[in-house]
Structure 1
Amino acid sequence: MKDGPDIARIASLVGDPARANMLTALMTGAALTASELALEGGVTLPTASSHLAKLIDGGLLTVAAQGRHRYYALAGPQVAAMLEAIMGVAAGVGPKRTRLGPREPAMREARVCYDHLAGEHAVKMMDTFLARDILVRDGREIRIGPNGHSHFTAVGIDVEKLKPSRRPVCRDCLDWSVRRSHLAGQLGAAILDKILAEKWARREKDSRVVTFSPKGRRAFEKAFL
């Protein structure tokens, strides 16, 4: 056996169609029950339970008990970033299973990627941050730039509370629909929290779509574009 990460094992876990659908359903950042995930995967509850056990054993999911229910969630932002990147590859080189319809433009415009904003708005925001030295690239890493602290303070985000930990403050995440990077990490999550707290946008029920109101879009553009 060759040294290094066992890519084949992770690929086999994600590659099963039912498990792929379950994992995609959890990209909203919400935890779901086995019954809900069985519906997403298009399988029976016993089959779903078997799939979920494999995903937990593989380190891709966590499970928490609350009352009579067990809730499953992605194991963390690293798993979400991997799934988003795979979606980008699948969108670029493979046949598209998604049927064209009114929801697809909305998904491309703005959506949740685990706990941060993705889509066209998020990519434009990232471009603006880099162009204005709000964020800077340092090799393969992204960090808050010389104009970052004052900018985020002005819009009501206290970056001093975002301390380096196992999860980076800033990280780029490949956007599957735009094929370029948007902002993830603690700062990306704080920005999405700000957008939702200010009611500039709302999350659509049972969907990753984020819908901005006309007033909210203007406020978002003023703050971040």
Structure 2
Amino acid sequence: MNTNHAQTAMKIDWRDIRFALVLGIVTIFLKMVTFYIPSWHFSRTTGDIALTTFTVGYILARARRMPHQLDQWGLTTVLTPAALLTGLSLLVFSVLVLAGLGFLIAGGFIFEPVYMAEMIEYIPAAFPQQFVLCSVGLVSLASLSAFRGTWRLPLLVGALFSLAHFWTPVRIPGTIVPVQMLITLPAGAGAAWYFLRFRNILPLTVIHAVLYPLMHHWIERQL
């Protein structure tokens, strides 16, 4: 079986694109509620759960009529030993890179038990992001002839993912822009390559949930 799903001729699914746009609007709305109406006590975790519920609802509604979409989205594709080993290798390598950078920036790093709880809490935030970025965005772009190939699309995704972190100092005052951008460029490219190669977002969701708290504590809070 050819595991390089990026080579499969497909058409852009505009229903997925519309869902991604709606999800983005809902995300902005929830952030505005949190910022402008603090009395609602609308925590980030609550918002993440709401977005995940919305995403799962869309998946179930479409999969009921079009079960093949589950494989297309990378939700039910079989995880082969190669996929599991590659995902684990990406995770370990990424953690080592973050630890090394944290050591260079702060002269050391620690792992506190609370980080595990933060990783679990971040899963509801990571899943919708992976669904939109990979299941919708990558699948749509991979259907275009300009992005047929092994590395062109992952490199583009890495560059866009890096640029998306240019605004980090607005969210975390005092941080240095190039650091986040340099870290997220290979991270985005690697995630895109993994999805196009193995077509499964579940390992990527786990990796995302593990790395986000570590990057926040070991890198962003030390700058």
When normalised by structure 1's length, the TM-score is 0.27
More helix by share: 2
When normalised by structure 2's length, the TM-score is 0.27
